[in-house]
Each structure stands twice: as C-alpha cells, then as structure tokens.
Amino acid sequence: MTVLSSPAAQPTPDHTATPTFAVIPGAQVRQALDGREQQVVDLVEATYRLHGAGDSVNPPSYFLRFPDRPSSRIIALPASIGGLNRVDGMKWISSFPANVSSGLPRASAVLILNDHETGYPFACLESSIISATRTAASAALAADRLSRGRSRPRRVGFFGTGLIARYIHTFLAGTGWTFDTIGLHDLSADSTAGFRGYLEQADVTGEVTVHDSAEALIRSSDLVVFATVAGKPHVTEPAWFAHHPLVLHVSLRDLAPEVLLASANVVDDVEHCLKADTSPHLTEQLTGGRDFLDGTLDDVMTGRVTLPDDRTVIFSPFGLGVLDLAVGKYVYDEVARSGHLHLIDHFFHDLRRYG
C-alpha cells in the first residue's frame, strides 16, 4: 500500500472527483489539538447546542461484550452532525482495563468520517486522543457552566487518576482553572504516583495530597472528578457530600442512587445516559421515574434550567458520538490545511459501475 502526502488536499473532499481516503495517525491528531483547549471546549459547546437544537442524529451506542472477557468491551458510536461542518461517521472504541497492568492504555479507538454528500468514508483517524480530548473538553465546559451561580471551586479532587483524569486536568488548566489544593485517590498507588509525576512535570501550582480514603477526598474537594473503571456503585454515603460539591461523574457508575437522589442531576443526553447500568440508569430503575433529573448541560447553557446553589450538583455525561465527529472533523481540517494529509492511493478501486 502506498501512502501519499498530498499538499493539494482540500479540507472538504471534492464530490465530483474520485473519492479520497486519508489516514491520520495519533502524532498528527496530537499536533492538531495541542494547546487548543479553549478552542476545543468552544467546539464541544457548539456541538452540544446543535445536538440540543435537533441538528444531529445520535443513535444509541452499541456495546460489543465478550462472555470470556467480561471486563472488556468495544463500543460503536455512529453519529451525524449538521451545521457548517456537517459530517457523518462512527467511533469504534475498545476498553480493555487489563491493558493497564502491561503498560498499555485501557482504551484504543479509530474514528471514521463519512462524506455528507456521497456517504464515502474519507478519513480514518487514531481516536483515543480525540475521545479523551472531547471527554475532557466536555468536563471542563461542565465545570465552568455548572459552577456559575455558586462559588468557583478552589479545591479539586480526582477520584481515579488514569489517562482520562490527566486529560481533564489538562483541560481545566488550559481553560483558566487554578486550584489551591489537588486531591488524588486511587486504588492503585502506581496511578497516583503517575498522576503526581504528571502534575510536577506540568509545573502545576496548588498543594497535592494523596488521600487513602474515598471519604477524605470527597469531603476535602469542591470539584470532584470521578474517572475510575468501577462497574458498580462504590460510593454510597450522601453525607460525604454535605458541603455540596460540583461532581463530574465521568466514569458514570461510581455513585449509588442514594447519592444522586440527594443531589441535582445534569446529563449530556437523557436517553443515552439512562442505559447500560449507569448510576442514573440504576436510579431510574429504583425510583421508577426520571424526576431526579434536572436537565441536560444544554438546558443549563441555554437558561432553560437553573441549578440550586445549596445542593450537590452531579454531571453524568454518557459521551456522545457527535462530539467525536466534531473534534475529528476539526482535526481533519487542520491536517488538510497544513498540507500534510496522508492519502491512501487507490483506496477506492472499481469505481465504474460496469467495469
């Protein structure tokens, strides 16, 4: 297979020409996104607004699970977005938690972008970076929007200190957040040591404390970020949240329904989030209804929902395929503009109907 560098490639594929197919490796993805935290947060906000306005198609994610490897899964997230950068496509993302013990990240992914006019796939992007980036950008956006109307958190606590926690910290710092204290809690001492090393390298200000107990981390944090790989709720005590922190429940399955029922609850998309045994899904099953939900992040951003300042606020984002598409298309356009798009020669062959 020949890989061509095409300086002439345009950001938007030409529908009248032979369809092209580009492969964008992780190094190019990283280069396109590096240092662009605020731009990506703005893009994620615009995408949530498009989705909230109905200018998207985002069917349920499909979970491929394995009887012989119950802790692993591969998820398909097909989606379509409208707006100026309209594009269709799908993220295909594996989660193999056991990878971490052998030094490989848990998640690996590709993203396929399909042309709006022809349906032809026109790019395949390394997507673990895109996925972590859109997740962290969504968390940073929520931290900002959901803390308006209450005092801005000065004490952050990371519950689970893996790759996603690192990206979330990078996005918080890259969008102007500073903290007096940074608390860390993880079942693995290697993970907290690794995260501490990252913070030192990033020359972060604020006192860093590793908490042995979950309760101590939560009670000493005004902004709590859950990024574990827990499959079932393990934080069950509403009293630990008596100081009413803002909680970014990115890993979705850490909190018992009792904790959600004592809090205001915001999700990214109601139908998506109330599935797959997430804490909101368990809460719906326990109560038989959705009254415990206050609304979506888009509802808060557009002013349809106002959050109380005297209750814990929990944001549970299921993670929408439209965000991967928006960030992936941004990366594609940046790489194309730079003139370094790697096109696969003759990827689509046999293009004449009768040969």
Ligand X SMILES: NC(=O)c1ccc[n+]([C@@H]2O[C@H](COP(=O)([O-])OP(=O)(O)OC[C@H]3O[C@@H](n4cnc5c(N)ncnc54)[C@H](O)[C@@H]3O)[C@@H](O)[C@H]2O)c1
Interacting residue ranges for ligand X, rule: CB under 6 A: 95, 97, 100, 106-107, 131, 135, 159-165, 185-188, 191, 227-230, 234, 250-252, 317-319
Toward ligand X, which CB reaches closer, 23 or 276?
A: 276
Nearer to ligand X, 198 or 347 (CB): 198
Work out the end-to-end distance of the chain between its first and last CA atoms, rounded to an integer number of angstroms. 22
Query: Least Å distance between CB 155 and ligand X?
Result: 18
User: Hey, what are 269's tokens?
Assistant: 């998309």
**What is the C-alpha to C-alpha distance for residues 293 and 84, in angstroms, rounded to an integer?**
32
Residue 288: both structure tokens together = 């038989």
CA atoms of 195 and 61, how far apart (whole Å): 30
Nearest approach, Cβ of residue 141 and ligand X (Å): 12
Q: Kindly tell me which of 165 and 199 has the beta carbon lying closer to ligand X.
A: 165
Nearer Cβ to ligand X, position 20 or 296?
A: 296
CB of 30 to ligand X, least distance (A): 16
What single DSSP character describes residue 156?
A: E
Which one, 115 or 269, has the nearer CB to ligand X? 269
Q: How far is the CB of 164 from ligand X (least distance, A)?
A: 3
Distances (CA, A) of 50 to 31, 43, 44, 323: 26, 10, 10, 11
- Cβ-based neighbours of 249, under 8 Å, separated by 6 or more: 226, 255, 279, 314, 315, 316, 317
CB of 82 to ligand X, least distance (A): 22
**What is d(CA 349, CA 355) in angstroms, rounded to the nearest whole number?**
10
Residue nearest to ligand X (CB): 162
| Identity of the residue, 120 or 198, whose beta carbon is nearer to ligand X in the bound complex | 198
CB of 235 vs ligand X, minimal distance in Å: 8
Angle subtended by helix axes 128-147 and 321-338, to nearest 10: 120
